[in-house]
Amino acid sequence: MPNQAHRRIDEGVKRGARHQHKPPAKRKDTATGIIPADLNHDTVLEQYLTESTTSQIAAGYGVSRKTLVRWLVAERPEQWKKVQIIRALCRKEDADEGIEVACDALSLARAREQLRSGQWDLERLDSANYGQNQYVAPVAAVQISIVVRAASQQDIPDRTATYEYNPGEQPQVIDK
């Protein structure tokens, strides 16, 4: 039995060659980069509000997602932004409901991440309403007066210089 005391636990476990990690295969993009002539902007924007992703909409029209998004941003930038804000608001509301009805830690964590995502999008897309308020304190101008007096000579007048400094500007001499 003395041999058994020095025997390693994993001795006898066959070690095979290590497998190299393979990167995921690239998706084959069978869509074209040409937008159909009869494609209506408003129809696509309405579908974006009801469909789950731009990839699904683009696949329905036979174009790539990048081409569809580029086309919408170029043709209807304000409407595209408004639709994205609406989707971010919906995502935030879905997350609020998810937090309220979460039955386990995983669903709660998922709802929190969804909430953060919606809030992040809203801060970037509509910072006037959902961005952080940054208070900028007013900056007052500074005036400095320097008086030079001669100690021994009575007939030399005092010299006074006044400087004014406004932030963002060069100091200016007001009086000499």
CATH number at residue 79: 1.10.10.60
In a domain, 68, yes or no: yes
Contact between 72 and 58 under an 8 Å Cβ cutoff? The reply is no
In a domain, 25, yes or no: no
In a domain, 66, yes or no: yes
pTM metric for this prediction: 0.57
Q: What is the DSSP letter of 32?
A: B
| Token reading at 9 | 């636990």
d(CA 174, CA 172): 6
pLDDT of 151: 61
In a domain, 24, yes or no: no
pLDDT of 37: 85
d(CA 175, CA 164): 10
Contact between 162 and 174 under an 8 Å Cβ cutoff? The reply is yes
d(CA 32, CA 41): 18
The domain tally of the chain equals: 1
In a domain, 94, yes or no: yes
Contact between 30 and 55 under an 8 Å Cβ cutoff? The reply is no
pLDDT of 168: 67
Q: What is the DSSP letter of 7?
A: -
User: What is the extent of the structural domain holding 75?
Assistant: 30-130
Positions of the chain with pLDDT lower than 70, given as ranges: 1-16, 27-32, 137, 139-161, 163, 165, 167-168, 170-176
In a domain, 118, yes or no: yes
Contacts of 57 (CB under 8 A, 6+ apart): 44, 47, 48, 51, 68
pLDDT of 171: 65
| Token reading at 169 | 């500007």
Classified as helix, coil or strand, 159 is strand
In a domain, 100, yes or no: yes
Closest CA to 31 of 57, 4, 50: 57
In a domain, 112, yes or no: yes
